[in-house]
Amino acid sequence: MVQDKSLFFTRSESLPFIEMRSASRSTACFHTHSHDEFTFGVIDTGSGNYHNLNQRNHITRGTTVTINPGDAHSCNPNAGEWSYRMLFVDTAWIAQLQHELFNCAGMDYIPFPALYDTSSPSFRQFDQLFELLVQPNDRLAAETILIDFLRSHFAKGFKLAGEHQARDNFHIRRVQELIMDQLDCNWSLDEFSEETGLSRYHLIRSFKEHYGQSPHAYQLDQRIKKAKTLLQQGESLSDTALQLGFSDQSHFQRNFKKRVAVTPKQYQSFFKR
């Protein structure tokens, strides 16, 4: 298969808890999805619509986009082509860093306080970081710039983090746990309602307020994220679809492309040695 030269996926050799993605003159569009990692990056050319949870924003060249783990979002060009670079950084690693920076033990993590940053210093700092991560032998410099970049962004949200920490909803968390514990299970709303005691309408509304997606959309999203890991490990498309509860391979491929903007086979080709 011929790889799409406009796309680039890799894992940083110097900092392996970071996955890197870039797109050059891309026209690909994404369905609403989320990531387990902290995600941030810059728009290099073009402009687009950035939808995160319930907010819609217009972003252009020079914008730094920041996305928290689990945030339902999409980011697509208005018209024509655009180019961008993104980093996906392991949430546990960032949580540990935040504990060191802010002495915030007891919190899962501090979220990004803003959805994007249009300042030139933020863009320049990301640009420097990305270039260092491409180099395989400059771990110290890359990690130093990464920590400085994250400290400057998370410091603004440190005070807000404590306020939001107390708002977790036990019943909605329970639904999320059921989905994650059995990704291959095709749950019904009646089963979720019986488990939590919430009406189907209230459950959908509350879950969407908390996670930005309905339970069904969230489940599909989590299945696709797990599929990415399985494909990186060399699992076949058919086995991946079966393990994750998709009705058939075409159902899996259709939903994968909506969220990743490439087919499962194309995605897997980036990680073959």
pLDDT digits (tens, 9 = 90+) for 64-108: 999 999 899 988 888 777 899 999 999 999 988 888 887 765 567
Q: What CA–CA distance (Å, rounded) separates 193 from 199?
A: 6
Pure H helices in the chain: 91-102, 120-134, 139-154, 158-165, 170-181, 189-196, 200-211, 215-232, 237-243, 249-260, 264-269
Tokens of 27: 């026209």
Are 103 and 79 a contacting pair, CB within 8 Å? no
Are 146 and 129 a contacting pair, CB within 8 Å? yes
CA distances from 235 to 17, 246, 271 (A): 21, 15, 12
Q: pLDDT per residue over 159-214, tens digit each?
A: 555 444 444 467 888 899 999 999 999 888 889 888 888 888 778 888 887 888 88
Q: What is the mean pLDDT of the chain?
A: 86
- Among 232, 242, 237, smallest CA distance to 253 is for 237
* Region 255-261 average pLDDT: 90
Contacts of 163 (CB under 8 A, 6+ apart): none
pLDDT for the residue numbered 159:
56
* DSSP character at residue 54: T
* Region 229-233 average pLDDT: 93
Are 65 and 47 a contacting pair, CB within 8 Å? no
Phi, psi of 64 (to 5 degrees): -100, 120
The model's confidence at residue 271, banded by pLDDT at 50, 70 and 90, is confident
Q: pLDDT per residue over 16-63, tens digit each?
A: 999 999 988 887 778 889 999 999 999 999 998 899 877 889 999 999
Q: What is the pTM of this model?
A: 0.67
Q: What CA–CA distance (Å, rounded) separates 43 from 69?
A: 20
Are 133 and 12 a contacting pair, CB within 8 Å? yes
